[in-house]
Chains A and B, each alone.
Chain A
Amino acid sequence: MTETSAAFWRGARHSLPFTIVVIPFAMLFGVVATEAGLNVLETMMFSVTVFAGASQFAALQLMQDNAPTLIVLATALAVNLRMVMYSVALAPHLGRAPLGWRALMAYFLVDQSFAVSSIEYERNPDLPIMAKVAFFFGALLPVAPVWYVASLGGALAGRAIPPEYALDFALPITFLAMVAPLLRSLPHILAAGVSILMSLLLAGLPWGTGVLGAAACAMAAGAVLDWRLEQGRHHG
């Protein structure tokens, strides 16, 4: 086996555990989108073109709440802003790959492919550039096809689910479940707390604008505490 194909299969192996998380998550999107009135084609267009679960859920919820289009876009894009960091972190490792490959990798830059690839590149910085590219695409094999197929499965199953199943609450539960494992440091906990408090205080504002205000305050709170803690470590 060449170094490139070895890297591809190593990537696939490393991200295999994500498959089990992606299946129910993608199905849930299909179900919730169908409940919101999207047909199968629209649901699939959404999953294929945007390809970023959390922001898809966020956009869907705000559109259901009749938020203005600008607010929907600003909030959903804010959810995806973390990917700027991913893009920054991978650039030094993949910057020498041909532009076409980098353009394709950008579409597939998701939490899972970033997580396993950044660890691999730190561990093996001298890997040839095409082996690094192959590793990245290998890491997508257990994630991306499953995302599309499970979205479709959820969209097809969606209409069969009656209202007693309280699917209105599938979204809040999914978001809280995504946030909980992130609460691993004081600034993260503070940011989440400020976000909750401010969104409740600002809930009276016209739809969706309260969330953006709350998010801005929460980001600032997290960043400031992060900075203060770092200052404390340097000078303490």
Chain B
Amino acid sequence: MVDKGQLWTVMPLLAVGTYLIRFSFLGMLGNRPLPAWLTRALRYTAVAVLPGLVAPGVLWPAATGGHPDPARLAAAGMTLLVGVITRSVLGAILGGAVTLYACLALMG
């Protein structure tokens, strides 16, 4: 469960921060070019943050008390595989969900 006090702190600050990120160059800084090293780093933000955010939960899911779970590992693997092959976010989600439910059903 999410703490409501924290939610009402995070939500407005995240909204304002995200807006400022979007507004930055479009709104204020105009055509000033970014230093090359910064554009280079920014290119890898999504791919640097998202896998690290889920990896511990995939290997040690809270739902199984922190023990590695074959169904969840298989689902994660299938999601990546389908996503890499088809380049489709939706296809990857479907592949992962079908694998998860199939494994959970098989293992009772």
- A residues bordering B, Cβ < 8 Å? 20-21, 24-25, 36-38, 42, 45-46, 49-52, 54-55, 58-61, 63-64, 66, 69, 72-73, 75-88, 90-92, 94-95, 99, 102-103, 105-107, 109, 166, 168-183, 187-188, 191-192, 194-196, 198-200, 203, 210-211, 214-216, 218-220, 222-223, 226-227
26 A-B pairs in the complex with CB atoms less than 8 angstroms apart: A37-B1, A38-B2, A50-B14, A59-B14, A77-B18, A80-B18, A84-B21, A87-B26, A91-B29, A105-B26, A109-B26, A168-B62, A169-B100, A173-B93, A174-B93, A177-B96, A179-B46, A180-B81, A180-B82, A181-B89, A188-B44, A196-B51, A199-B53, A200-B55, A219-B48, A226-B44
Could you tell me the dominant secondary structure of chain B's interface residues? helix
On chain A, the residues within 8 Å of B58 by CB distance are 172, 176
* Beta-carbon contact of A50 and B11 below 8 Å: yes
Q: A90: nearest residue on chain B (CB-CB)?
A: B26
Of chain A, the residue at the smallest CB distance from B16 is A49
Complex CA distance for A64 and B63, rounded to whole angstroms: 13
Whether A168 touches B61, Cβ cut-off 8 Å, given contacts A59-B14, A176-B80, is: yes
A175 touches B14 (CB 8 A): no
Complex: how many Å from CA A216 to CA B44?
10
Q: In the complex, are the beta carbons of A181 and B51 less than 8 A apart? A: no
Complex Cα spacing A86 to B6, Å: 29
A52 to chain B, nearest CB (A): 5
User: B67 within 8 Å of A by Cβ?
Assistant: no
- Interface residue count for B (Cβ, 8 Å)? 74
Q: How far is the CA of A173 from the CA of B72 in the complex (A)?
A: 9
CA of A87 to CA of B58 in the docked complex: distance in angstroms?
33
Q: Is the CB of B47 within 8 A of A195?
A: yes
Chain B residues in the interface with A (C-beta under 8 A): 1-3, 6-7, 9-15, 17-19, 21-27, 29-31, 33-34, 37, 39-63, 71-72, 75-76, 79-84, 87-90, 92-93, 96-97, 100-101, 104
Q: Which of A37, A64, A66, A211 has the most CB of B within 10 A?
A: A211
A interface: dominant SS: helix
Could you tell me if A83 and B18 are in contact, using CB atoms closer than 8 angstroms?
yes
Query: Is A91 in contact with B30, judged by CB distance below 8 angstroms?
Result: yes
Contacts of B52 in A (CB 8 A): 195-196, 198-199, 210-211, 214-215, 218
Measured between C-beta atoms, what is the minimum distance from A49 to chain B in Å?
Answer: 4
Tell whether A195 pairs with B49 under 8 Å between CB atoms, given A20-B90, A49-B11, A109-B22: yes
Q: Are A46 and B50 closer than 8 Å at their CB atoms?
A: no
CB closest residue in chain A, given B56: A203
Give chain A residues whose Cβ lies under 8 Å from the Cβ of B15: 49-51
Taking CB atoms, residues of chain A closer than 8 Å to B24 are 84, 87-88
| Bound CA–CA A197/B72 (angstroms) | 18
Docked Cα-Cα span, A181 to B90, in Å, equals 11
Contact A73 B13 (CB under 8 A): yes
Pairwise interchain contact B50-A183, C-beta atoms closer than 8 A? no
